């Protein structure tokens, strides 16, 4: 049911091995054959490539595995469920503008009720171009972010994250909701029931410079270090490879605020 992969790092890094392995999970080593996408932050903007075909068959994805160098990456391989149609508009990650920033979002899980909930929104911040519950959930989260921003344009980061955690918990109560999201500065990860992280300090780049980095994946990938499982309903926020916030939402076993 789809898989996620993300990186937040203090410096631009390559992740050839991890990306190669993740690419193969798009229809070869795992049952996620219905599209892939890769967003990476470069020179102050997100660059996004995606195709509605198996990742392991994509020459473009294979090339990106070798050439991508960034301090912030979000990737996704899709198992089409809602709807069971693999079109470009239904392929993650999705990208939208909100509050003067460009946001990207990718989801694992199933929350079909969010479609009706967001369609009832009198002031939507965006309208989906595809049909997925994931894109509707993305627009729903952006509406919460926009409401907080307009109430406090000076920006209260802690309050923003708390509001996002509450909205994430609400959506998760209607199904399964794991996601990666970013505005180019923060990598935001919500693990409702299936997400792992790997924090590494001083990892050497190919040029020998050290970098603090965190990788997040639906299922652990090979490499040095031990992957850790998210707490149920846990929101983790990273900036330049280091944790900037952590919230355990209510309503899930083991969760607390």
Q: Which domains does the chain have, with CATH numbers?
A: 3-248 (3.60.20.10)
What are 218-257's pLDDT values in tens digits? Answer: 999 987 679 999 999 999 999 999 999 999 996 544 333 2
Helices vs strands, H then E, count in the chain = 5, 13
Q: How does pLDDT run across 65-86, given as a tens digit for each residue?
A: 999 999 999 999 999 999 999 9
Q: Which residues pair with 108 in a beta bridge?
A: 178
Query: Cis link prior to 101 (omega < 30° from 0)?
Result: no
Burial class (CB in 10 A: 0-12, 13-18, 19+), 151: exposed
204 pLDDT band (50/70/90 cuts)? low
When the pLDDT of each residue in the chain is averaged and rounded to a whole number, the result is 90
Residue 162 has pLDDT above 50, yes or no: yes
Q: What pLDDT is attached to residue 253?
A: 44
Determine whether 98 is an active site residue. Answer: no
Q: What is the pLDDT of residues 122-155, one digit of tens each?
A: 888 999 999 999 999 999 999 988 887 655 544 5
Give yes or no for residue 99 having a pLDDT over 90.
no
Q: Which of 2, 98, 126, 139 is catalytic?
A: 2
Other beta carbons less than 10 A from residue 231's beta carbon = 18
**How far is Cα 154 from Cα 243, in angstroms, rounded to an integer?**
22
Band of pLDDT at residue 206, cut at 50, 70 and 90 = low
pLDDT of residue 257: 28
């Amino acid at each position: 049911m789809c898989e996620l992969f993300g990186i937040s790092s203090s410096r631009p890094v390559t992740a050839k091995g991890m990306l190669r392995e993740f690419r193969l999970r798009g229809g070869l080593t795992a049952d996620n054959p219905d599209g892939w996408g890769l967003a990476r932050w470069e020179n102050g903007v997100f660059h996004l490539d995606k195709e509605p075909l198996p990742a392991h068959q994509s020459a473009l994805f294979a090339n990106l595995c070798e050439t991508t160098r960034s301090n912030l990456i979000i990737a996704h391989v899709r198992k089409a469920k809602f709807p069971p149609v693999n079109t470009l508009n239904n392929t993650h990650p999705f990208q939208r503008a909100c509050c003067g920033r460009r946001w990207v979002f990718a989801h694992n899980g199933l929350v079909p009720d969010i479609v009706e909930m967001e369609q009832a929104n009198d002031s939507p911040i965006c309208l989906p171009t595809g049909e997925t519950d994931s894109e509707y959930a993305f627009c729903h989260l952006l509406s919460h972010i926009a409401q907080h921003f307009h109430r406090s344009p000076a920006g209260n980061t802690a309050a923003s994250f708390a509001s996002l955690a509450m909205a994430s918990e609400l959506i998760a109560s209607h199904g399964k909701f794991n996601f990666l999201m970013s505005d180019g500065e923060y990598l935001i990860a919500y693990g409702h029931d299936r997400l792992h992280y790997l924090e590494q300090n001083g990892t050497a780049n190919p040029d020998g410079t050290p970098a603090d980095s965190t990788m997040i994946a639906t299922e652990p990938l090979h490499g040095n270090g031990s992957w850790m499982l998210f707490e149920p309903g846990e929101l983790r926020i990273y900036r330049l490879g280091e944790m900037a916030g952590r919230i355990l939402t209510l309503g899930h076993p083991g969760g607390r605020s």
